[in-house]
Amino acid sequence: MASSRLDWAAVTDLRSAASAAFALSRADLERLVRIPSVSADPKADDHVRASAEAVAGLARDAGAASVQLLSVPGGAPAVVAHWPAPEGQPTVLLYAHHDVQPTGDLDDWTSPPFEPAERGGRLFGREAGVIAHITALRVFGGRPPVGVTLFVEGEEEIGSPTFLPFLEKHRDDLAADVIVVADSTNWTIDTPALTTSLRGLVDCAVTVSVLDHSVHSGMFGGPVLDALTSLCRLVATLHDDNGDVAVPGLVERKADEIDYPEARFRAEAGVLDGVELAGTGSIGDRLWTKPAISVLGMDTTRTSEAANVLVHTAKAKISMRLAPGQDPDEAMAALKAHLEANAPFGARVTVIDGARGWPCELDTSAPAYDAARKAFTEAFGQAPVEVGLGGSIPFIAEFAEVFPSAVVLVTGVEDPDSRAHGVDESLHLGQFEKVCLAETLLLAGLGA
């Protein structure tokens, strides 16, 4: 399609054009999957740049009037491309990222993570969501019905540490009326979702010390609890007997009613038979609008190297997800105070602050949301479900801070079986084609 102005009567034409564009985009998706752009690995810097250059090439092929690779000091390269707005039309910023997570143990993968493989209608490999944007732009032959800025960063998988400085430096290049963040999940492969709230995040490293050096467990064990046992007792205070977070003073509330049966959650999460779910309230409450605490790892003696000694010090990384409305600084202070106040038997507890990310709750009353609902309904044959997200995308709050008048839409390219960030990550190809069509229809709707 080359017309610069389309309306909803053109849905049939757009559907055909999007289907034709998807065939080319499937090959481009596989090409991006083959680039091991792991932003957490300093040795992969060349691959991260290669993925940025590949995305820049795709933007040029999709008719961008200008394409730049930009960065700020210490940051990874980002792609910023522009399709100018027709007279009187809004500008839409399409966000994605071109970096990916580390693979973990390669032996755990059914097929190599950077060698795309199709099985059962799914494409396995580390995912590259930018292709949804590229497909929609191709449909319009370089002349979308609205202005488009494509912004594809290269450090989302490490928490976007230079995101806010990047926004502030390139504010004029990125200014938009609507921001579409294609970085969430759909409700099922057949039912789309618009994410309307996200939890925030704080994490910290807590070290427990009980001795100035390790000593013989038989000679000194009993009067002194080793540091690892003490650390275990400390982290056990983070939850009450129901499994709810026990840190006082944190924000929590009820989630909007949604049909999310416990059996479905157990199946999607892979909960083992006999393991009870923790916490109180609905599944939505526990996933989206209440805090959650996890111990992500511990530094202590490996079991294969353990001797009969009392470990003198042990360390854990603790992550806490925050409900919408929670100030991260206040949450970090509450977590730190709880850990220090619950030091077992007077153990020395040291807490080092880590990452912080704001939660957010999006206003869904803007006309852009009506256009999104219509676009996804047309593409999927079902109206989108409005859901929260238990994960954190802190830069969405930063978008809102820098561009307070912009409407932010968070859409999904994944589904509950995608195993995002995990072993055997995959993309359901049938659903992904619908996502590409939905974004095409969204641009048309915003232009109408």
Taking the CA of residue 223 as centre, how many other CA atoms within 13 Å lie in the half-sphere pointing to its CB? 5
What CA–CA distance (Å, rounded) separates 100 from 195? 21
b/e string for 366-394 if b means 16 or more Cβ within 10 A?
bebbebbbbbbebbbeeebbbbbbbbbbb
φ, ψ of residue 239 in degrees (nearest 5): -130, 150
Sign (positive or negative) of CA dihedral 123, 133, 287, 254 = negative
Which SS3 state, helix, strand or coil, does residue 133 take? helix
Rounded Cα distance, 204 and 212, in Å: 23
At residue 376, the 3 state secondary structure works out as helix
CA 96/CA 156 separation, integer angstroms: 9
Task: List the catalytic residues.
Answer: 99, 156
Cα(326)–Cα(346) distance, integer angstroms: 31
Residues linked to residue 205 through DSSP beta bridges, in sequence order: 317, 352
Instruction: Please report which helix (H) or strand (E) contains residue 95, including its range.
Output: strand 91-97
